[in-house]
Structure 1
Amino acid sequence: MNAEEKIKLMIVDDHQMIIDGIKSLLRKEKQFEFIAEATSGEQGVEMLKVTVPDIVIADISMPGMDGKELIKYIKEQFPEIRILVLSMHNDAEIIGDVMLLEAEGYILKNTGREELVKALQKIADGGTFYSEEVFQTLIKKQKEFIRENRAQLVLSDREIEIIRLITLEYSNEEIAEQLFISKRTVETHRKNINFKTNVKTVIGLVKYAIRNELVTV
């Protein structure tokens, strides 16, 4: 966006206090211009028929047409408008839904002026902005997903071969020689084995192999 052009903003939130608070936070930021505000998704839709902002700042939890429905509508009818979600919900499922709807940003309502300005500026410049708190929530959810699904990760035949040789106290060099592969390939397989089994030591791997009947004792 041209540096001389003001970034036109529209706010959609069912709490007038939030709308007034955002406007107050950005009052001294001359690069922004508030051109519309709405206290419901439906009212936001009507506003968009007469004025088109660069960025819509939208809440998620609103009675009637909620934020996700509003985002979907905007993306279908006004694909050039960019969207920053401002929400009280630091919830991975909601954040994920917003990302799938291709909103350009997501920050929490406890954010300060500096982060709000940074988010709006980055989005106006064509980028995306998900706050650190939001990002960490997604990372935590991803780790939980990995832990819950680790047991479903299937060891390959080659990895089982390597586990059996490890239980026989073969070194990486000896495994490579036995299987006619490089030492680096063995190291890569061992990293994958550690990840899939959630085991970090040779003793732990031996126990895993016995417990899962990969070797006989």
Structure 2
Amino acid sequence: MRKIRAVLIEDETMFRQLILLTLGKVKDLQVIGEFGLGKPGLEFCLREKPEMLVVDLMLPDINGLEIAREVRRELPDTKILVITAHPSERLPADLMVLGVNGYVDKTEPIEYVLSAVETVRSGGMFFASRVRAKGGSGGGLPVTRPTLEVPLTEREQEIARLVAAGQMSKEIAAKLNLSVRTVEKHRANIMEKVGVREVASLTRWCIQAGLVDN
């Protein structure tokens, strides 16, 4: 099996080494480049076209969001995992709009990075942070209510909520008075727009986007 080629951009030397050790535990993954600055790391990514990018949000020379935006535009198939020591309530929503696949708060255990890489490489989404929305309670995922527009029509949002609630296409079709084929088409469009492949990842996305409660 061909190894997944990954690039790491992280300016803190000790944390970069820690992440490298963690990535070394991932089967069939090879780090082909590590950088302490964003610009040379971005240039390397655009040239080498890695399958995965792990990038810090706050870098000395360029913001990680700019790197993520450029990589997503030029390399749409590259998986992007953002790490940061400066989380915020709206950050997960901002990252999802950019097409980022995962996000880990540096204050979380380093094992979260391993879990995030494994989830992202398999086509899922992984968002973990200790930041909670105002009035929110504890739990695995931050309950974020983004002000940014969700890229789904009202009908697609309605179907996404039902899918996230565990309902099958046949049940959704009966409830909305649609054909099963129409529901399946909507589901495919939703998955494509959101950038996920399975119901579990769609459910996580719906929680992050504020379409359903955690």
Given the two structures, how large is their TM-score scaled by the length of structure 2?
0.58
Corresponding residue pairs, total: 140
Matched, 1:9 2:3: no
The match for 1:102 among 92, 99, 105 is 99
In 2, distance between residues paired with 1:138 and 1:25?
24
More helix by share: 1
SS, match of residue 126 in structure 1 = coil
- Give the aligned partner of residue 142 of structure 1: 145
In 1, distance between residues paired with 2:72 and 2:125?
15
Question: 1:32-181 maps to which residues of 2 (within 5 A)?
Answer: 32-131=29-128, 133=130, 138-139=142-143, 141-142=144-145
Rg comparison, structure with higher value: 1
What fraction of aligned residue pairs are identical, expressed as a percent?
A: 25
**8 Å CA contact 1:40, 1:64 repeated in 2:** yes
Measured on the aligned residues, the alpha-carbon RMSD in Å equals 2.4
Which segment is superposed worse, 97-106 or 124-133? Answer: 124-133
Unaligned runs of 5+ in 1: 146-217
In 1, distance between residues paired with 2:86 and 2:92?
8
Given the two structures, how large is their TM-score scaled by the length of structure 1?
0.57
In 2, distance between residues paired with 1:63 and 1:30?
31
Compute the displacement of 1:26 (Å).
3.2
In 1, distance between residues paired with 2:129 and 2:65?
21
Compute the displacement of 1:113 (Å).
4.1
In 2, distance between residues paired with 1:49 and 1:142?
33
